[in-house]
Amino acid sequence: MKLFALFTGLLSLSLATAQSFQPRIVDGVDTTPQAHPSYVTILADGKLCGGTLIDSRWVVTAAHCLEIDGIPVSTEFIKVGILPSGISGHTVNADDWSSADVYYMHPQYRFPTNDIALINLSKSVSAGKATLGVHSNNLVGTLATVVGIGSTTRQTADEAETINKPRCQLLTTVYAPGFTAPEHRKI
């Protein structure tokens, strides 16, 4: 039940913080994996994405990271781990990577809405775990740091060569600017 509550909270956060559901990480600054110890890299059939370790064997990520051209990627082609020095020029320690046992996309996921997924890893990954405030904390209106990779501007599809971290204001799950029905859903 705790994991479901965390998933729901992160889903709300994902819906509330994105102003555009493009694979972008806009208006941020470069950062490193060391500055965000819960950040992990996801390789899904050659596609590079980011995620957040929320338990020793659970990662939350965007559902679009786990599909290619609308087709879900088989778990045998998903690896999760740590890139110690960013995206380019990295060295990989095989002990810091795990395969996916199973993953769960939001049941109402259809890009670009409900773009969130959980990955259950076959072994623990040696990264820090993310922590969230107590459920009763009202975080609406506060700034959250989002960490990831993707396009760094709204005008181009060029992807960042480093991990990027913009700040986004948290909104309620009831209303997020730019959403229109039927995408506008209360979770």
- Work out how many domains the chain is built from and give that number: 1
159 lies in some domain: no
Helix (H, G, I), strand (E, B) or coil at 7: helix
- Higher-pLDDT residue of 148 and 178 is 148
- For residue 22, being part of any structural domain is answered with no
End-to-end, the C-alpha distance of the chain in Å comes to 16
Q: How far apart are CA 173 and CA 13, in angstroms?
A: 8
Q: How far, in Å, CA of 114 to CA of 32, rounded?
A: 27
Does residue 87 lie in a domain region?
yes
The answer to whether 82 and 34 are in contact (CB under 8 A) is no
Is 7 a member of any domain?
no
Domain-located, residue 185: no
DSSP structure string for 140-169: TT-EEE--B-SBSSSS--PBPSSEEE-EEE
Within a domain: residue 70? yes
Least Cα distance to 127 among 95, 89, 91 occurs for: 95
Q: Which residue has the tokens 């039927």?
A: 182
What pLDDT, in 10s, does the model give residues 100-149? 999 999 999 988 888 889 999 999 887 777 766 666 567 778 887 778 77
> Which tops the pLDDT comparison, 28 or 61?
61
Structural domain range at position 61: 29-131+140-154+166-175
Q: What is the CATH number of the domain that holds 70?
A: 2.40.10.10
Could you count the other beta carbons within 10 Å of the beta carbon of residue 46? 8
Q: Is residue 85 part of a domain?
A: yes
Q: What is the pLDDT of residues 40-88, one digit of tens each?
A: 888 888 888 888 888 889 999 989 889 988 899 998 888 888 765 445 5
Model pTM greater than 0.75?
Answer: no
Domain membership of residue 183 (yes or no) is no
